[in-house]
Amino acid sequence: MYMFQISSTEIHRMTCNFQPPKNPKFPSPTSNIQLLNSQLLLYLCALIMAKRKLQQFAEFKELDKTFDFPYDMKGKWKQDVFQNDNPLVLELGCGKGEYTVALSKQYPEKNFLGIDIKSNRMWRGALTAKELGITNAGFIRMIINNLTAIFDEAEVDEIWITFPDPFPKDRHAKHRLTSSTFLPLYKQVLKPGGVVNFKTDDTPLFEYSLEVLKEHNITPQEVNWDVHGNSDSHPHLREIRTYYENKFAAQGRTIKYLRFTF
């Protein structure tokens, strides 16, 4: 395990360069020292976190089936990476890869690729896959807008979008992963009849997604407004939970699910 080391020189530099704010609310020397110590502690914590992220970036690249903007892999994922012809499933905005890892364990007859822009997040999923001996899961650092540059036409069998950023402001609607910006990308990389699965706790985002599908003349195959309250929900919808899903469910939010094809 990587150990963080901050040298005495670094600490000396930080303490010498640190300037406590001039604030009349802290007139006494004792208060100023306390403020200095608390601010210095925050600075040290931030430095440790930054170092840890850099370490995770480096470790991610060394783990099996991890990729960084792999434009040269277009059309070759099954053949070169998984060395089989099993269905290829993507999780977009996978974060720590919890869903990708869980699905790969439950469906060993399929290949899974988690996609996110932050490899320090996916490091956790890639490491878990290694520790569990999972060979049908991988992770890609990339921008989802570049999906068609990294996957060939009809190369993908299924897509999962789990708890994406809802981008609640209207001016940011184009960044929502169920917006008209992304649907044509999904359609291009999916095989005919390929499925998109969408799971969220955000009611406005769910309603927005249904409206977008309506605009594209797409009739959902399934609309589930309460995954955990509906006894007809597929077991993997109820049993596979990410950190955020558990957090949102604990707050009393209902989890919604939507499945559609083009």
Q: Which residues are catalytic?
A: 165
Q: Are 178 and 161 in contact (CB under 8 A)?
A: yes
Would you tell me how many other CB atoms lie within 10 Å of the CB of residue 195? 17
What is the chain's length?
262
In the three-class reduction of DSSP (H, G, I as helix; E, B as strand; rest coil), residue 173 is classed as helix
What region does 129 belong to: left with phi over 0, alpha with psi -120 to 50, or beta? Answer: alpha
Query: Which residue do the tokens 């925050």 mark?
Result: 42
Would you tell me how many other CB atoms lie within 10 Å of the CB of residue 228? 14
Instruction: Give the closest residue to 155 by CA, choosing from 259, 66, 81.
Output: 81
Q: Residue 203: which H helix or E strand, with range?
A: helix 203-215
> CB burial class (10 A; 0-12, 13-18, 19+) of residue 12?
exposed
Q: Are 199 and 241 in contact (CB under 8 A)?
A: no
